[in-house]
Amino acid sequence: NAGVTQTPKFRVLKTGQSMTLLCAQDMNHEYMYWYRQDPGMGLRLIHYSVGEGTTAKGEVPDGYNVSRLKKQNFLLGLESAAPSQTSVYFCASSRTRRSQYFGPGTRLTVL
């Protein structure tokens, strides 16, 4: 039982490049989330999904897109990376609001 896994762990991009971050969970959770963590700003919700085939915007969605084609996977895309998107990205999943289970994070640097 791996819980929540994220791929890749680290990535360096140049401005304007695109990439996709993959999140996978094996707990059969309905809800999945993408957050970014920046110094002094805590965790901010980018996009989330309440079930397979659904997505919704969170607090800071601009510059990102997501897809939830399978219940266990939640993809976060950056179409044209900007230095402001340098951050640590966390994926999480949950069955209820009692707690969310987080992945180990992806450290992204945009030059």
Partner 1 sequence: DQQVKQNSPSLSVQEGRISILNCDYTNSMFDYFLWYKKYPAEGPTFLISISSIKDKNEDGRFTVFLNKSAKHLSLHIVPSQPGDSAVYFCAASGEGETSGSRLTFGEGTQLTVNP
Considering the complex, state which of residue 85 and residue 89 has its C-beta at the smaller distance from partner 1: 89
Least distance (Å) from partner 1 to the CB of residue 77? 20
Least distance (Å) from partner 1 to the CB of residue 21? 14
CA separation, residue 55 to residues 9, 48, 58, 76 (Å) = 23, 6, 10, 11
User: Is the CA virtual torsion 26, 30, 31, 32 positive or negative?
Assistant: positive
Least distance (Å) from partner 1 to the CB of residue 46? 12
Residues that bind partner 1 (CB under 8 A): 4, 30-31, 33, 35, 40-45, 48, 50, 56, 58, 90, 92, 94, 96-105
CB 106 within 8 A of CB 98: no
Q: What pairing do the DSSP bridges indicate for beta strands 56-57 and 4-7? A: unpaired
Considering the complex, state which of residue 33 and residue 64 has its C-beta at the smaller distance from partner 1: 33
